[in-house]
Amino acid sequence: MKIDVNQLAEHFAYIPFQVEGVYRYAKDPGVPYADYTDSFPGFVFPLTGKIQFQFNGTPYIFSPGKVVHGGANMKLDQKTFGRTDWEYILVLYRICDSKLEESSFSHQHFELLTGQSPRLIELITRLWHVYNQRGGISKFQTEMLFRDVLNETLLCVANRQNSCESHTLFERVCNYIHEYYYQSLTVASLAEQYNVNRNRLSYVFRIHAGMGPAEYLLKYRIRMAQEMLFTSKAPVQQIAQTVGIADPFYFSRAFKKQSGISPTEYREKFINNPC
């Protein structure tokens, strides 16, 4: 089940909850498996290996890089993968307000893709150690650490989603540029084409290409011009217009800046030295 990470964050921001238990499980052939989940909902934090569990018939693979949530009293089935070792930490929690519990995420099963996060592993491991200590301070630290764990989990998911979305946007705009570079493209028209803010588009290009979209477009046009200079006898001014640059003087300056030599010198160089 797909979950909106922002809605989940808002849910835990406003609904009172507390930790009911923190347990560490590892592959052990002598330990029987339960047919149902606990009477409390919980988060599973895989540490190593791989094992599959089904919550009410829906399969989830427990493996590092993801966190799985299961609701209370759900039908549970498990499947191991050969002799693969596995280990995970389960954190059970309770919604403290019975009126809010019915409308909460606690009755749902879902998966959160966090990616590899050493900090998350460090926090969940520390939570397990603190929970198994005695005294009021350890109880207080357990509650605080669990919130730190949830915070890190949600941040990892959000960052990963943003990264995937930005990479998809980058690839789509790049493909568009590669296909329509010869048209009158601008940063504004590209942003409008993909219904994004110009600042957002510029940010995405700087993250994935190390330059803004205008510079990327210009470099691609010059690259296409280089091919045309080598493969055709068309005048430089015509080639400039063909790649989408109407001003031949601007084209020559941009070409020399990127190639180190003028368009004419570039053509002569490759005609005289085709290899």
Q: CA 256, 262, 267: angle at the middle one, nearest 5? A: 130
For residue 170, tell me if it sits in a domain. Answer: no
Contact between 217 and 176 under an 8 Å Cβ cutoff? The reply is no
Q: Are residues 127 and 204 in the same domain?
A: no
Give the rounded percent of residues in the chain with a pLDDT score beyond 90: 63
Q: Are residues 14 and 147 in the same domain?
A: yes
pLDDT in tens, 12-52: 898 899 999 999 988 765 455 677 788 899 999 999 988 89
For residue 48, tell me if it sits in a domain. Answer: yes
Q: Structural domain tally of the chain?
A: 2
What does DSSP say about strands 110-113 and 42-48: parallel, antiparallel, or unpaired? unpaired
For residue 77, tell me if it sits in a domain. Answer: yes
For residue 167, tell me if it sits in a domain. Answer: no
For residue 163, tell me if it sits in a domain. Answer: no
- What's the whole-model pTM score? 0.69
Residue 198 structural domain? 181-275
Instruction: Provide the CATH number for the domain around residue 56.
Output: 2.60.120.280
pLDDT in tens, 58-73: 999 999 999 999 998 8
For residue 54, tell me if it sits in a domain. Answer: yes
For residue 196, tell me if it sits in a domain. Answer: yes
For residue 101, tell me if it sits in a domain. Answer: yes
Instruction: Provide the CATH number for the domain around residue 189.
Output: 1.10.10.60
Q: Are residues 13 and 99 in the same domain?
A: yes
Q: Are residues 37 and 115 in the same domain?
A: yes
